Amino acid sequence: MRRGSRLGGPEPDGYLLLRKRPGISSFDALNAVKKAFGTGRVGHSGTLDKFAEGLLVVLVGRSTRLVPWFTGCDKVYYGDFAFGEETDTLDPEGEVVARADAPDERQLSEALQAFRGEIMQAPPLYSSVHVNGMRAHQLARAGADIEMKTRPVTIYELELLCYDGATAKMRVHCSKGTYIRSLARDIALACGSRAHLTALLRTKVAGFLLEDAVDPYAAEDPQEALRGALRPVGRAAFDSIGVPVATLPAALLAHVAHGKPLDPSWLRDAADAPSVALLAEDGRFIATAEREDAKWKYGFVSLRPEDL
């Protein structure tokens, strides 16, 4: 059965680039999207902390089934690392838990060398990581004594833009799962200092850019601005996340809509990729396909028989 919007008509479907402002939680930002489109089916490529700002890639309607494809993307951040004090949350909203002298620029530059490439990183205690079935921040606020396990992340680029002896402005290009708050903590410790983030700006998610995002709070009609920013998921979106695309002729659409087996010859454009997006000749998104034991299987079929 086809779902509808609470505002009337069919449920909206697609993605939009949203600029989150500092002081607004990602939950509230996504709630505004839900209200604008009259649907509870809204997903994203990774939240931003309340104090942070920048790009959220938001999926709406049936396209929320593609969230796993978007969450694995690399990201680019600009952050202000304040040396001298570490807070329990590693951001400006927390309580100071440790103090130490700030490093000089030479010490800082030398320490950064160890944080490029693949590193092991422990998420912040105040984070959404699951620990024993609960969010770490819930356990932390309840006073539980928990240990955050380290996990591998990749720092593709780490650039010191400027340093005034107290605050360093950094540019970080990193893999999914990287916490810039943890990076500030660990770099400071490597310098024999302490630090926390005072500002964070996300400017890029995979190939999506902040400059292309809608800022509903700058619009006269925020809900109309959000609705106007919705785009269909198609070649541009898949190109942005680095997923190859195969275009199917109209004669094969019914075959896919009814879930009949995939013919590998249709997916030659995917080369050795583990997954591929299937599009119709008119650019409509049809389905995802994933390679499994040298065979191709459907991941998510968007096209339904009633759409033919």
Q: Show which residues are catalytic.
A: 49
Distance CA 272, CA 292 (A): 12
Parallel, antiparallel, or unpaired: how do β-strands 167-174 and 151-163 relate?
antiparallel
Distance CA 18, CA 212 (A): 9
Report the SS3 class of residue 304.
Answer: coil
Instruction: Sort 260 into a burial class: Cβ within 10 Å, 0-12 / 13-18 / 19+.
Output: exposed
Give the residue from 40, 62, 70 showing the smallest Cα distance to 307: 62
Report the SS3 class of residue 127.
Answer: coil
Tokens representing 5 are: 């919007």
Greatest pairwise CA separation for the chain in angstroms: 69
Distance CA 29, CA 32 (A): 5
What residues contact 267, with CB distance under 8 A and at least 6 apart? Answer: 246, 276, 289, 296
Distance CA 237, CA 285 (A): 10
Whether residue 55 contacts residue 209, with contact meaning beta carbons closer than 8 Å, is answered with yes
